[in-house]
Amino acid sequence: MSSLPIVSITRRESFSSCHRLHSQFLSDEENKKLYGKCNNPNGHGHNYVVLVTVKGPVDQQTGMVMNVHDLKRYMHSAIMEPLDHKNLDQDVPYFKAVVSTTENLAIFIWDQLQKIMDKPQLLHEVKILETEKNHVVYRGGNTYQRKKFNSSLHTNHHDVSSDSD
């Protein structure tokens, strides 16, 4: 039995959304200090670029890891329909309880793709370019155990958010 070559395929989509970085676990003052201008009560917007990579063996019969048309369809359902031209905090139920950072957006997209893909094991990476300077990459799985956030222990305040620029 011979091994099959492993190949990655990446597809790019762009969408526009607005959001406000604001944690329900922090006071208004703490939110303003932590998130800066990104805590604007009226929110702010981004033209996000998302790159989704699938990786796997090249099928000997089809010559493909995945049909790019299928990847396009998955991305439309998981990204474009729920997120494009939406207020993430108000229009996407997931973000009613989760801060709409780009990190959490990448996790959301990963989870949505995993639910609808015929072969979710092929999903390798979700990369979001929030700005020309800020990129987030998520490859699934948990490295750290999540603990309930205790705002009274929160001491790491920053004057600039990862969302600025």
Which candidate, 117, 116, 111, places its Cα nearest to that of 140?
A: 111
The SS3 of residue 124 is strand
Q: What distance in Å separates the CA atoms of residue 42 and residue 112, rounded to the nearest whole number?
A: 27
DSSP 94: G
Catalytic residue set: 38, 85, 130
Residue environment code for 16-48, b if the CB has 16+ CB neighbours within 10 A, otherwise e: ebbbbbbbeebeeeebbebbbebbeeebeebeb
At which residue do the structure tokens 């998955």 appear? Answer: 74
Q: What distance in Å separates the CA atoms of residue 100 and residue 97, rounded to the nearest whole number?
A: 9
30 phi and psi angles, rounded to 5 deg:
-65, -40
